[in-house]
A and B are shown apart, each in its own frame.
Chain A
Amino acid sequence: MTRRAFSERDIHLALDGELPVDEMLDFEHWLAGRPDMKTLAARYEQDRAALRAALAGIAEAPVPQRLTAALETKRETQRGGAVWQRYAAAAILFLIGGLSGYYAASLSQPVATPLLTRMADNAIDAHLIYSNEKLHVVEVAADQRDHLQGWLSKRVGVKLVAPDLRALGYDFIGGRLLPFEKTTAAQFMYQDASGGRVSLYLTRDETRADTGYHWLQERGANALYWFDGGYGCAIAGTVPQATLTAIADAAYKQLLEG
C-alpha cells in the first residue's frame, strides 16, 4: 500500500478526530519525520487544551436560577424579576422532586447507610480509574452488549440492563466486572461526543432497601446513588449534578423496566 502525501491540513484532521483510522499510523510516521509539522501539531494541541481549560469552569459552575426558571415557566419569567425568580427556582426544585419522587425525599432522608456510601465511594474510585484509560476503558465492548449484560447479570446476581442514554448524548461503550464488599459489581461506561465519560456502578442489594437519591462529591467527581428494587446503583462522572440527575432519571426507569 502506498502512503499518501500528508500536509498541514492533516494536522487539523488528526486533531479533530477526522483522519481515517487506517491513515493514522502513516500520518504519525510522516509527522515524526517533519519536526516543523510536529511542533505545529503540538502547538495546536496546546492551544486547544488552553481553550478547553479556560472554558471548563463555565460548564462546571452552578446554573443561574433564571435559566432553570426559564425552562419551567416560559411566559411568566422576566429578566430582572428577582423575587419572582426565586419562587420559580423553588418551584422547579419541587417539580424535579415530584417527578422522580426521590430527589425531594432524599432531603428528608436520614444519613446514608454506610453500605450505601461505600458503594458510591467504590463507584467513584472505579470511575476515576477506568474512565481515564485510553485503550482498556472496558472489559467487554458495546458490540457484545447482549453477552455482556447476560454475563454481568449472572455474576452480580441481579438482572442488569445497560440503559440507553443516547437521548442525553451518551453512547454506551461497554462494561466490566468489579469487586464490591467481597462480592461483585458491574460497571457500564458511557461516552459523549466530546469524549466525556460517565459510568453506572451496579450491585445486588439483599436488603431490598429503597433509599432515594443521594449525592457524593469526591476528588472532582460527582456520584448520584440509590438502592431500590433489590439493586444498588451509583452514577459517577466529572459532570455537573444536573447532568447526573437527568441520567439517573433515564437510567432508573430502564433499570426497573429491564
Chain B
Amino acid sequence: MVTSFRSKLHNFIKNFYTLLIFIFLYAPIVVLIVFSFNASKYGTQWEGFTLDWYIKLFEDRAIMKSFYYTVAVAVLSSSIATVIGTFAAIGIHNMKPLRRQVMLNINNLPILNPDIVTGVSMMALFVFFKAQLGFITMLLAHITFNIPYVILSVLPKLRQMPKDILEAAMDLGATPWYAFRKVIVPEISPGIITGALIAFTMSIDDFVISFFTTGNGVSNLSIVIYSMARRGLNPKINALSTIMFVSVLLLLLIVNRQQGKESKKTYRIKGSEM
C-alpha cells in the first residue's frame, strides 16, 4: 500500500512537472495565436475577432514567397546536413584523439560564433569566389551551421553504443554496409532524428546568417520579419505562424494515427503466427 502511494505521488509529480514545462513552452505560442485573430494591429487590447490578417497574408506576395524559400531551405539543408553530419560523427568518433579534438573544435565554431561573424565571413567567402548570392549560397550556409548540431546529437549515441558491435556484426558475416544499415543506424537513430529536428529548427528561424548569404530576390521568413523591426510586426506574421503551427500539429496527429494502425497490424500478424 505504501509503495502504491509513493508511486502515485511519483506519477503525480512527474505529470505536474511536465505540465508546468509545457505551459511554459506554449504560453507565448497561445498568445501569438490569439493576436493573429485580433482586429487591432497591436496586442494592447482585444478589438474583436477577425480573419482579416489571414486574408491579407495570402495577398502578400513577398511573405508567401519567402515562406516557400524558408521551408525549402530548411528541409533541404537539414536533410543534407543530417546525412553529412551522421557520417561525420561516425568518422570523428573513430578518429585518433588529436584529430578528433581538432575536428570537434572546428565543428564547434559555427555554434559558438556570433551569427554576424558567421554570416559576414561566409558572405566574404562567397564574394571572394565571385558567387552570386541567392538560394544556393543561403542553402550552403544553412547546411554549414546545421551539421555541427547533427554531429553533437549523434556523437553521444555513438559513445553509448557498445564498442565492438560493428566487429561482432561483421564477424557474424555481415558486410560493412549491411552492418552499418542494420546495426549502427538503429542504435544511433534517436540521435540522427534529434539532429535532424534541431537542424531544421535552427534553419527555419535563422536571420542574420541568411540575410548576409542571400540575395537576388531570395528571402526567408526571418529576414522579412526582422526587416519589419523598424515598423512593427504586422499580425499577418502571426497568422502565418499560426497556420504553420496548426499544420505541424495536424501532421503529427495524422502520422501518429498511421503508426497506431500499423502497430496494430503487426500485432495481429504476430498473434496469428502464434
State yes or no: do A and B come from one complex. Answer: no
Q: Which B residues lie at the A interface, using CB under 8 A?
A: none
